[in-house]
Amino acid sequence: MNDKIAPLTSDNYPSWKQDMIAILLDRNVYEFVLGKENPPGDDATEKEKMRFRKRCNKTFSSIYLNVSKHLRPLIVDIAEGKKAWEVIQKYFRPESRARTIGLLDQFFSCRIEINEKIGLYAARLRKIIADLLDCGEKVPLKYQAFQLIRFLPDCFGAIVQAIYRWPDDRFTFDQVLNELIAEEARLEQCSRDHEQFALHSATPLRTGTRNISKINRPR
């Protein structure tokens, strides 16, 4: 697994957290972060105790080395993966009700910009959804899908009406997004075809009038 991820900064905690969990899972040490890995008992062998310490150290080093240098002082004196994880989580995870309400307002007022691609608009929505989840607020799946089609341009009207008739198990963010991207591509192709047709229609046809008149001119 490629464990090169963007280091933790002041503005990427939600995405960093997900990437970091993937790394810890790959290294088989995520249980330490969850506090589910118990130390060996008194009857354990030295080899077992050493293995536990190595895995414990790997948990902390994996986290520490993926934190930007200006944030490392937060955990530099801890040297235990679970505590380091909790300190970072407490530092970045906003618990205030005002923060949650503000993000909910951002989510339900998020609109697609003029000439913005559907994929970029979806990415902005995903960021807000991730921030809300980090605050402990999970946006219901149907609201995620609904917001994706709520403020689309009129040219998407037909596909939006079709999506509204989908069954609940299909009305998900990812499936709606895939349908919208396909429709966006179709609309762009239609626009290109129309422009090409208009260009050809505006081009004057060359005729052989002059030559014909010469041929038919009486001698």
Per-residue pLDDT of the chain (219 residues; tens, 9 = 90+): 556 789 999 888 888 999 999 999 999 999 999 888 888 888 889 898 899 999 999 999 999 999 999 999 999 998 899 999 999 988 886 666 778 888 999 999 999 999 999 999 999 999 999 888 877 889 999 999 999 999 999 999 999 999 999 999 999 999 999 999 999 999 999 888 787 777 777 665 555 444 444 444 444
What angle do the packed helices 13-26 and 118-134 form, to 10 degrees? 80
Token representation of residue 191 = 């626009």
Q: What is the pLDDT of residues 87-138, one digit of tens each?
A: 998 888 666 677 888 899 999 999 999 999 999 999 999 999 988 887 788 9
* Domain range list for the chain: 12-92, 97-198
∠ CA 123-84-6, nearest 5°, is 35
Burial class (CB in 10 A: 0-12, 13-18, 19+), 151: exposed
Q: How far apart are CA 115 and CA 127, in angstroms?
A: 20
Mean pLDDT of the chain: 86
* Local structure of 177: helix, strand or coil: helix
What is the identity of the amino acid at 113?
A: E
Q: How far apart are CA 180 and CA 152, in angstroms?
A: 10
pLDDT at 41: 84
* Local structure of 219: helix, strand or coil: coil
Beta bridge partners of 100: none
pLDDT at 203: 60
Q: Residues 131, 132, 138, 144: is their CA dihedral positive or negative?
A: negative
Q: Which residue in the block uniquely carries the two structure tokens 């790997």? A: 58
pLDDT at 170: 94
Q: How far apart are CA 181 and CA 175, in angstroms?
A: 10
pLDDT at 42: 83
